[in-house]
Amino acid sequence: MPSKLKDNLNSQYFEAANRLKSKQARRRIVAYVESYDDIYFWRTVLSRFEDDTRYFEVMLPSHEKLGRGKKSVLMNFVDKRIGPDMIACVDADYDYMLQCATEQSRRVLEEPYVFHTYAYAIENLQCFAPSLHDVCVAVTLNDHRLFDFEEYLRQYSEAVFPLFVWSVWAYRKGKHNQFSMTEFARVIDPGGFNVFDPAPSLVHLRRKVSTRIRQLQQQYPQAKEEYLQTKESIKSLGVTAQTTYLYIQGHHLFDTVVIPILNKVCNRLRQEREEEIYRTAQHHMQRRNEMSCYEHSLQDIRQMLKKNTGYVLSEQYRRIQQDLEAYLTTTRTSPRT
């Protein structure tokens, strides 16, 4: 297909192509995503909606151009390319928190053929707290519950929630240059901690958050009422003090908070398993064979976390599913009705 034609494909093109197929053929719906990493996530989301009448093809905005990211995906809306047979699937980022305060937020939240994660990004969902123990088991083949991920991320979320409200307020008011997301991420960096005693790290985190909040209160003394309104608005979107981790910058949560914990927990779980092999092996040859077998069974932490699908139990995933169900209800269930 000529590149110019490829670059001008739109929902009407795929709708017409679907109509040309036999009545038994399935309807093809193209789902544009932001990056390579998003393809697998949205494939897992969309798969359950495929049947003998339709299927989805998840792809990047262009096979010819290297443009990536949300802006590139949403340009398909500007160009009037998105429609019933061509949808956009993006990270919510802060657009969900901004609630149409910007043009991009309006597109993400109001356009019927744009779907978003509700959580800040797919990385947040991959770090869904109730699923992290399973990731450790997949990596180490050791089912010992060494660390309470749910409790830690609950306390972490409660510690950063008051500053998160300030961050959303700043972006809604156009004051993100005075309190940027980069600075917010720096403040809520938990730093090093002991797997067996994470409390000191949380105490240090709360101290940093309190310090920055006092500075913001002094800088914006008239913003108290707006802060409280923002807090209630955020809660109405489904954000709670206990789940803030799902709405902060995804890369920060993935790389700075969760991966360091997983590294320490998995290292300890591997050590436990190796010690068990050394303790129970009856002779040197058996010990060597068992160790070799175990080492070959270990998985990479980062890759296992990226492939983690435990988020299917999350409220955010349920809401994505609801949006897709509503979209499919209002569009044709067959390419030839």
Closest CA to 332 of 23, 10, 7: 23
- CA pair distance 144, 275, nearest whole angstrom: 14
What pLDDT, on a 0 to 100 scale, did the predictor assign at position 67? 53
Tell me the pLDDT tens digit for each residue of 166-179. 999 999 999 999 99
Cβ atoms of 276 and 294 within 8 Å: the answer is no
CA atoms within 13 A on the CB side of 2: 3
- CA pair distance 79, 68, nearest whole angstrom: 16
- Judge whether residue 336 has pLDDT over 50: no
Percentage of the chain lying above the pLDDT 70 cut: 88
Mean pLDDT of 131-155: 97
pLDDT tier, 155 (very low <50, low <70, confident <90, very high otherwise): very high
Place of tokens 């359950």: 48
CA atoms within 13 A on the CB side of 182: 2
- Judge whether residue 94 has pLDDT over 80: yes
Tell me the pLDDT tens digit for each residue of 187-211. 999 988 889 999 999 999 999 999 9
Pick the more confident residue, 275 or 195. Answer: 195
Predicted TM-score of the model (pTM)? 0.87
> Which of the 8 DSSP states describes residue 67?
-
SS3 283: coil
What pLDDT, on a 0 to 100 scale, did the predictor assign at position 97? 97
Mean pLDDT across the chain, nearest whole number?
88
What pLDDT, on a 0 to 100 scale, did the predictor assign at position 192? 84
Mean pLDDT of 224-246: 97
Cross-strand partners of 30: 57, 86
User: First-to-last CA distance in the chain?
Assistant: 28
- Judge whether residue 184 has pLDDT over 60: yes
